[in-house]
């Protein structure tokens, strides 16, 4: 009986220690909100374009890039893949690299983006990227939406697990 009690005490002690380590690690993490704007345009030809019998045009590997300004300053580059109909309504996705300066740090957030088109204009979308350079270990999550004149608002968070 004493042996079982001793085993239970050891197990409970390990669980308590693990909980303390997890609480300590999460207490160091910081989440910073940001707002910025972006203006992207094609910077080269697509890799492939074709249409189907339903009237959907498919565009693959279209390089798109442009400036980002606001709380973040830099350049956003996307390798876009677009599917839209004759009215410019559709969806898109791609790999994205945000080369940026933020809070005195420089590096990139690299990840995936997806968005919707309405009338051949980006309506809204999301981006999730992981940091490199000074941002190594950080994660960015952002939503974006058209504000007019080819400009989109970019709002989101940067999570720094190191608390920096």
Per-residue pLDDT tens digits of the chain, which is 164 residues long: 666 656 665 565 656 655 555 555 555 899 999 999 999 999 999 999 999 999 999 999 999 999 999 999 999 999 999 999 999 999 999 999 999 998 899 999 999 999 999 999 999 999 999 999 999 999 999 999 999 999 999 999 999 998 86
- pLDDT given at position 160: 95
- pLDDT given at position 159: 97
What is the topology classification, in CATH, of domain 30-160?
Answer: AOC barrel-like (2.40.350)
- pLDDT given at position 162: 86
The model's pTM is: 0.80
Count other Cβ atoms within 10 Å, centred on residue 20: 10
């Amino acid at each position: 009986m004493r042996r079982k009690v001793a085993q239970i005490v050891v197990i409970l002690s390990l669980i308590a220690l693990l909980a303390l380590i997890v609480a300590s690690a999460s207490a160091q993490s910081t989440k910073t909100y940001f707002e910025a704007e972006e203006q992207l345009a094609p910077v080269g030809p697509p890799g492939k374009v074709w249409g189907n019998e339903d009237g959907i045009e498919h565009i693959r590997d279209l390089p798109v890039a442009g400036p980002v300004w606001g709380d973040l300053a830099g350049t956003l580059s996307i390798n876009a893949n677009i599917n839209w109909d004759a009215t410019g309504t559709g969806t898109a996705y791609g790999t994205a690299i945000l080369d940026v300066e933020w809070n005195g740090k420089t590096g990139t957030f690299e990840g995936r983006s997806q968005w919707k088109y309405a009338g051949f204009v980006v309506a809204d979308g999301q981006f999730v990227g992981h940091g490199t350079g000074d941002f190594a270990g950080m994660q960015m999550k952002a939503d974006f939406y058209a504000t007019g004149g080819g400009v989109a608002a970019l709002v989101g968070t940067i999570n720094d697990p190191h608390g920096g």
